[in-house]
Chains A and B, each alone.
Chain A
Amino acid sequence: MSHDQHNRTSPRRRIMQGLMVLPLIALPALSFGANPPTAQVNTTKLAVTDTEVTVGQLHSATGTMAISETGSIQAEQLAIDQINAMGGVLGRKIKVIKEDGASDWPTFAEKSKKLLINDKVAAVFGCWTSASRKAVLPIFEKENGMLYYPTFYEGLEQSKNVIYTGQEATQQILWGLDWVSKEKKAKTYFLVGSDYIWPRTSMKIARKHIEGHLAGSKVVGEEYYPLGHTNFNSLINKIKAAKPDVIFIAVVGGSNVSFYKQLKAAGVTAAKQTLLTISVTEDEVLGIGGENMQGFYASMKYFQSLDNANNKKFVEAFKAKYGAKAVIGDVTQAAYLGPWLWKATVEKAGSFDVDKIAAASKDIEFKGAPEGYVKVHENHHLWSKTRIGQAQADGQFKVVAESPELIEPNPFPKGYQ
């Protein structure tokens, strides 16, 4: 392969490459810090030059998902700016080509083809919903691209061409349920979700865990509502009739706001009822209103209020760039990890080639992560801690518990499928 490529290089390129090597030979003492030659770090014709490397960003800037994906777009841009300010990756500045998936899954597929085939980007940071990821996955596998995917999701997937920087379902759910069972002495659970793959898979895992691993506990109700459903009064009455110790929630999008507003209007408040959600981050509370969410719990790997030096720096930089009122949710933070993990992997592999990055990803660490310390598992998911946050009136979460150890990602959990 490399022979073929060499033959096709123009004579001028070859002279240039030759010239670039010259100072390395002539001045070995000064060569420290000089960039490794492009021919060496890029054997697969990616868009990498001596001074620049091009990456893609593929999110919905328009359409119904823009609400959620804006935070990820901002966080990835922030990380890329910071990396560029430090001198880039292997001495090359990162240039970003932004594409808009427009909340439409075929558009995601089409744009990812454009990024991989026409633009030859070295990596793509993007996607948010599982549907958009499923739409681009075959293209990334066929064209051998590299995708950094930020959202917590249902698991049951693993690809050489994807790094999942959010939590998979078991990481997010199991420890949260253990906590609520131990701390709140919960025995009965009522599960509510929006009606699509992520809540359904998550609730399946939750049910197996409650019935199989939490002694004497049972599920007293399991309900799904169509996306965008806004009237939950009947459901709330049903919950009141079932009197569960814990309501466990995976309702997403605009439905969230109606759900919590109506809960409060029906007199279901944190003082009377324990509620644990896996779908509300600081971003969603903005819409729900802190006063409607106050006292309820969320199980996530990251909260904006996390007290550590990395996070303080991150929150400060984020607000400096996007305004003092900007909030940072779990997925936004996970999106921020993408460019940094990619940088670390490229530097470890000494190459931008996707195959080498995929192989080198195992055990890549990022000590500067706002969530603390993260490490990439062999299965391309992250080791991460899970935290329980309690919603406050000002829209932030107070971290009330944290898993003692990093939790191993397990996208194909045995006994939970």
Chain B
Amino acid sequence: MSVSEMLNIGMMQGFAGLSLFAVLLLMGLGLAIIFGQMGVINMAHGEFMTIGAYTIFLFSTVSENYFPKFVQSYFIFAIVAAFFIAFALGWFIEWALIRHLYKRPLDTLLATWGVSLGMQQCFRTFIGPKEVSPTLPDWLMGSWSPHEGLDIPINGMFVMVLTLVVTGGVLIALYKSRWGLRVRATVANRTMANSIGINTKKTDRLTYAIGCGIAGIAGAAFTTIGSTGPTSGSLYIVDAFLVVTFGGAASLLGTVASAFGIAQMQSISEFFMTGSMAKVLTLLTIVIILMMRPQGLFASKIRR
């Protein structure tokens, strides 16, 4: 193999690591808000992603059949819609279920797991058991090839840009907006926040709904790299929890760092050993690091 070929593969491999980083971060972000900030173990996180993915499918089918002009542009609107549909459902579930369980964090695990099973069966019954994949606009397909032998996937770049926008948005909202201030106050000390006039119930509901909405965006973005079926969500949930736990539950920066670390470890080891062994090595490393630092990479500095 010539030097230029090795360089090409090296560059593509570097991009593969970055694009896996984007995927993991997008996956973990919504969960980091819900689990990290509110302490709710949201097992239905994957299903909210699936909702987002099905929204894309719905838009793609409708635009294909009724508005062929929009086939090239529906995707952007569908992502926004995915956020709001998942947001609305999250709002409803918080109101119906989660708010009764804040004092019992382990019960939220069971309750949201039940929600996830229920949602899976709804997808299966009302949408169909077969996996679907939406017709993507042409500009999202294929690869960008600056020169012979170097192919950068366009969908990978798209997911990276989207992740950048969403993560930036969340960070700004959390540290610069009134909502962010209220969330941080509630996380730091719920009783005190309540006593100085913050409506913690409302804050919780909004936070949960935003977390779900971001999961919807993530699901929407993943239609460009995978398929959507009733149980797709369960594929993502483990990775999402891994990213959040490894990063340190209460820290968004920790989530970013941990997504980056896991992605690089995974994609580099996958290149040099078999897929299953790479997964084993990655998990083993994470377990060892968590044994030494049970609080995760970045612990919150608040005294509890």
Contacts and interface: CB of A to CB of B under 8 A. Distances in A.
A226 interface: yes
Interface in A220-253: 223-226, 228-231, 233-238, 240-241
A235 B270 contact: yes
Interface string A61-84: 011101100100000000000000
Nearest to B20: A231
B231 A241 contact: no
A240 B12 contact: yes
B16 to A, nearest CB: 3
Contact of A264 (B5, B142, B266, B270): B142
B276 A225 contact: yes
A283 B270 CA distance: 29
Contacts of A267: 142-143, 145, 151
Contact of A223 (B145, B227, B274): B274
B225 A262 contact: yes
A230 B129 CA distance: 19
Interface residues of A, number: 39
A60 to B, nearest CB: 9
B55 interface: no
Given A254-B235, A265-B142, A62 B121 contact: yes
B229 A254 contact: yes
B130 A67 contact: yes
A258 interface: yes
Contacts, number: 126
A266 B12 contact: yes
B200 interface: no
A288 interface: yes
A273 to B, nearest CB: 12
B124 A287 contact: no
Nearest to B151: A267
B156 interface: yes
Contacts of A95: none
A261 B276 contact: no
A234 B235 CA distance: 19
B66 interface: no
Interface string A252-282: 0010111001101111000000000000000
Q: Is chain B's interface secondary structure helix, strand, loop, or mixed overall?
A: helix
Interface residues of B, number: 47
Contacts of A223: 274-275
A178 interface: no
Nearest to A192: B275
Contact of A67 (B155, B229, B267): B229
Interface string B276-304: 10110000000000000000000000000
A229 B266 CA distance: 12
A286 interface: yes
B63 interface: no
Interface in A52-66: 62-64, 66
Contacts of A240: 9, 12
A237 B9 contact: yes
Interface of B: 1, 5, 9, 12-13, 15-16, 19-20, 23, 121, 124, 129-133, 135, 141-143, 145, 151, 153-156, 222, 224-227, 229-232, 235, 266-268, 270-271, 274-276, 278-279
Interface of A: 62-64, 66-67, 70, 195, 223-226, 228-231, 233-238, 240-241, 254, 256-258, 261-262, 264-267, 283, 286-289, 291
16 contacts: A67-B229, A70-B129, A225-B276, A231-B267, A234-B13, A234-B271, A240-B12, A256-B227, A264-B143, A265-B142, A265-B153, A266-B143, A267-B142, A286-B130, A286-B132, A287-B132
